[in-house]
Structure 1
């Protein structure tokens, strides 16, 4: 069958869309893990949710975090202790308890707005707390200590006269009578009367459990799992018999949670998250984007669609089968005030409303540390299929009580916007106190980070010197600091050959975790390389390749010339691996370029392979002025990019 070219294009496009939607649907059904911003680097030990929106996390140094929007925003709650907290449990949205070192027990009856100490009568560490309802709960810990309350914690006392000689690390009850204690190496104790009498089983043999067990979870009175060092074990007899389940890679597992007889998650060392969807017959690794060296300490699910894992250095990962969120980076400069009020424009093409928050960073030069907002500023909701105009001064700087005009670090700021909706697009209209710098699209920050470095490329023109000093703005959204280096290349005209001006990459210092950095082209790069200023070779044009030993870094360039400012644009990321396919780029030009006003295209080849460059040129007619015509009958050969 002969197909008209336009029809063929339509058919291919439709097929592409269908394939794309199929992939999205599959990814949605399976769910993904995304990192959340905890606003802390404190180690987190225990997580608990009462519904998909409302949850708490306990951690070291008396840390308790709280969210009411599924983790889009985590806020620290005030507690009357600084000891390490090991476990947290809630009976409902108001009544909750947390336990920790030195016998500390905390209680809240208002969702954590206030916490108070309860009397445990112990000085040993408590490792686990579990409440079956608002009045009845248990706590267990080191030295075989076991407590029970039937009065919401007003009175805690041992439920049995029996003395235990092992350390307990987890307690779990399926109802007011049937419970399980995990302690020692592989000792699992069971009770049928609320804790008065405990049956002590023999330690599980190495053929079943290779190492100590750290966590236990029961789905009902018969089916449960326990995990530990290189071990996952399961019972379908209420703990009478246990069977080993095989998994790879072997690792230390710290916490387990089951939502039904098929779907179970466990987390542990090396940022490991394992999931089974067949009751444990097979276990598969799930990626969270959390740095691989991180110890994950606790996992909790409200249902098969929403779960959280928490661990060292404030790391939080959220599992969702929903559409996910978007994180965008923006950079602003030069003392914004009410008169020169830069904007951010957001467009939500999805069918999901999304709450917007922004994290604001200073953009210092040199070795000064970047400062940031302690908690993200809420900017309201971006409705589905809608757009929003956010004013930098009125909507962000004024609510943060920033003095105007903002002049610290030359008025430079980096902003990280988080929108709880997928695939939001954004742009920034950037003003300074003297002129507008133009509009540029906001680069997206990945929700999951690879382990490799970030490589970004920038282009500059027209003789930067100390008076006209272009800037590079870098924002590191990850929890890992990274050394920054740069390689500098000349940008010759078409028939020239680019030269690298750096014999070895120039070190520019460290971009710390969750921070930003302002790099001046003349002062920080050209001068240390002993390049005479102003740089005039090839019209003063240069290409810079920045390598940052941290994942997910995003950047922008504020480009000056000796005559006027050229504007701000996001830096392009160079992929870690090349596909082998040719690169196709598109650009648009306007308003009659001639010899005096000669627009440029800058190309940079980071690969080890040279490539022939060809261009096709099309007209750009106005809406009612006709159809675009190709001016090149065949692609125009522009030579080789070495």
Structure 2
């Protein structure tokens, strides 16, 4: 083969690769700008959380999938969602108004009980939001070094891009709410999500541990995080104050009722407090697998669920756990009870509803 022919073939290869790169670049659409695709298999795709919107059930999961059911989880419809980012959590403080959060710093809002959604915030904006907020505070209080550090964190987030996972969301009503996520990322809104305020300076979390979950027990608001982190809202000091717990592993969730709170997480650990988090007692789950979801039933008892599909039930005093019989176990990421008493679960295999008689 002559050298001229080789050069021609090399040139053709270079041009072909260049054209492929151009085509790929032209066809790329950021998941934050790509609406979730309708799928007949959405209810069997991985789902990570679900909530009540009045009598309706709403579930969220990967690729921006949001589903809703008006018949206690028997049939599901796919919602209209403007992003394809994975969604990690959903919460409805009222029957109509709800919020969902997920990867890429995305915050979605629905005003029609979860049928349609709009984007309020994403990770491309969060860094700039932090930088401007804490720069303004640094200018107002130049002697306070904390503001400069947090402003620098905001600049770093701008440079890193949109990848800022939000892991949970909670709203007190249709105005006041929080979104929490990795590396102490926490945002607060007082106007239903139209504006968000960075809240990193209001947490006792100097090591920037992940904030995995936020939930109210009816008389207190708690955040559970990694490496034993549990925070409680202190209204007098307007901040989330750290509580001491006897376990230094990660907590994945909080559940409770007035006068009682449970935190749960890694390797089957469950801790219970009946004095606002001052003292904690470990509830023996008998498991070494992580607990990933929980609910409070109508009798005031708890059900906890694991990443391997186990179900744990508390006794009448909520001081002991027992393992329920397993049928077709699969990883569970979220759970709730439907209006008819059915147990509705979401996880890696999608959504399933267990009738009352099968629980």
- Distance in 2 (CA, whole Å) between partners of 1:185 and 1:210 is 5
Residues 189 and 201 of structure 1 are in contact (CA less than 8 Å); yes or no, is this contact kept in structure 2? yes
Partner of residue 118, structure 1 = 79
Residues 88 and 96 of structure 1 are in contact (CA less than 8 Å); yes or no, is this contact kept in structure 2? yes
**CA displacement 1:238-290 (0-9 Å, x = unmatched):** 99312111111221100012311x3100110110011100000011100223x
Per-residue deviation at 1:300?
Answer: 2.0
- Distance in 2 (CA, whole Å) between partners of 1:85 and 1:327 is 23
The residue matched to 2:275 in structure 1 has which SS?
coil
Partner of residue 234, structure 1 = 232
Residues 110 and 117 of structure 2 are in contact (CA less than 8 Å); yes or no, is this contact kept in structure 1? yes
1:306 is aligned, of 272, 289, 301, to: 301
Per-residue deviation at 1:319?
Answer: 1.7
Larger Rg: 1
Segments of 4+ in structure 1 off by > 6 A?
A: 322-328, 375-378
Partner of residue 332, structure 2 = none
Is 1:131 aligned with 2:126? no
Over 3 Å counting, the alpha-carbon distance change for 1:284 and 1:278 in structure 2 is same
Partner of residue 183, structure 2 = 185
1:196 is aligned, of 194, 204, 210, to: 194
State the TM-score, normalizing by the size of structure 1.
0.36
- Distance in 2 (CA, whole Å) between partners of 1:80 and 1:126 is 13
The residue matched to 2:252 in structure 1 has which SS?
strand
Per-residue deviation at 1:177?
Answer: 1.0
Greater RCO (Cα-Cα under 8 Å, separation 6 or more): 2
Partner of residue 257, structure 2 = 259
- Distance in 1 (CA, whole Å) between partners of 2:355 and 2:180 is 42
Is 1:87 aligned with 2:49? yes
Is 1:316 aligned with 2:311? yes
Per-residue deviation at 1:184?
Answer: 2.8
Partner of residue 15, structure 1 = none
Is 1:295 aligned with 2:257? no
RMSD: 3.4
Partner of residue 283, structure 2 = 286
- Distance in 2 (CA, whole Å) between partners of 1:298 and 1:174 is 21
Partner of residue 225, structure 1 = 222
- Distance in 2 (CA, whole Å) between partners of 1:194 and 1:124 is 21
The residue matched to 1:185 in structure 2 has which SS?
helix
Over 3 Å counting, the alpha-carbon distance change for 1:157 and 1:245 in structure 2 is same
Over 3 Å counting, the alpha-carbon distance change for 1:234 and 1:205 in structure 2 is closer
Over 3 Å counting, the alpha-carbon distance change for 1:211 and 1:327 in structure 2 is closer
The residue matched to 2:116 in structure 1 has which SS?
coil
The residue matched to 2:183 in structure 1 has which SS?
coil
Residues 182 and 209 of structure 2 are in contact (CA less than 8 Å); yes or no, is this contact kept in structure 1? no
1:245 is aligned, of 243, 251, 256, to: 243
The residue matched to 1:111 in structure 2 has which SS?
coil
- Distance in 1 (CA, whole Å) between partners of 2:120 and 2:257 is 29
The residue matched to 2:104 in structure 1 has which SS?
helix
State the TM-score, normalizing by the size of structure 2.
0.63
User: Number of residues paired by the alignment?
Assistant: 253
Per-residue deviation at 1:155?
Answer: 2.1
Residues 266 and 299 of structure 1 are in contact (CA less than 8 Å); yes or no, is this contact kept in structure 2? no
- Distance in 2 (CA, whole Å) between partners of 1:271 and 1:241 is 29
Residues 304 and 311 of structure 2 are in contact (CA less than 8 Å); yes or no, is this contact kept in structure 1? yes
- Distance in 2 (CA, whole Å) between partners of 1:301 and 1:108 is 21
Instruction: Structure 2 unaligned segments of length 5 or more: list them.
Output: 1-39, 127-161, 326-352
Over 3 Å counting, the alpha-carbon distance change for 1:206 and 1:118 in structure 2 is same
The structure richer in helix per residue is 2
**CA displacement 1:457-495 (0-9 Å, x = unmatched):** xxxxxxxxxxxxxxxxxxxxxxxxxxxxxxxxxxxxxxx
